[in-house]
Amino acid sequence: MSSPVPELAPRLAETLCAFREAGVEPTDSEIVWLAILRRPCDHPIDGSLPWLIGAPFNYAGIAWYPIHHLAELWFIRVKKLLNESDAPDVAHMAAFMFAHAHSVPGDVTVRTIGTLPEIVNTCTEWLNSLPIHAGQFLPLINRLRELDKNTATIPDGTEDRSDEVLASQHSGVAIMTKAFPGTTPEFWLTGVASSDAREYVSAVSDGGGKFATSTTRTSAQTDYLKAVKVVWENHANG
């Protein structure tokens, strides 16, 4: 017999886990407060949530996730390596798709694929194993861009990707961790979509952000993230 007790909202569960890993034990009242604030973020009464944040879509037997920060950093480096080599053009597309198929929360697969031969061989062999025809690649890539909230053209790899640019991407994790005390760098690297993470930081830095399709949900999300900081500070300050 299944339990009648409802499950915690995924984001609330992640928040509590991050707190406890940092040695912070929220009070019962604080947990209830966070749960109350979280609900309108995930269950908007105005129907403004087109799909669950971070949810994948399934195609050709693969669950395609919005790219997380670790996979995004990996893909930036991959493009730089590919542009400096005579690797086949299909390797770019294969790596882009590979990064999304391996952006399941907590997935660190890309850390094991670092050299140029590993990148080319692993990604192209993986792509060739998929039951997808060549004519289906572009629609799929466009769908992945939409999943990442990216309306611009997919970078062709000719843009500046200097060490300074890569360093600024890495510093984003430090900014996110500082903005939300109690969270870990690993959470921002693999626990949340990269696009969502940037919007969270934007929301608390300017009181707004465009990560929701309604002002009501934007306000609810901002309130929740601010509450997370308050709970942390309640305990960090003794």
Higher pLDDT: 154 or 151? It is: 151
Are 187 and 140 in contact, with CB atoms under 8 Å apart?
no
- pLDDT at residue 52 above 70? no
State pLDDT tens for residues 164-175: 444 445 557 877
Confidence of residue 45 (pLDDT cuts 50, 70, 90): low
Are 64 and 147 in contact, with CB atoms under 8 Å apart?
yes
Q: Which two tokens stand for residue 204?
A: 């608390």
Domain ranges, ordered by start, for the chain: 10-49+166-236, 57-161
List beta partners, residue 62.
59
Are 37 and 213 in contact, with CB atoms under 8 Å apart?
no
Half-sphere exposure for 112 (CA within 13 Å, toward CB): 7
pTM, two decimals, is 0.63
**pLDDT at position 238, please?**
56
Distance CA(42)–CA(187), nearest Å, equals 20
Higher pLDDT: 182 or 86? It is: 86
**pLDDT at position 65, please?**
92
- pLDDT at residue 68 above 80? yes
- pLDDT at residue 209 above 80? no
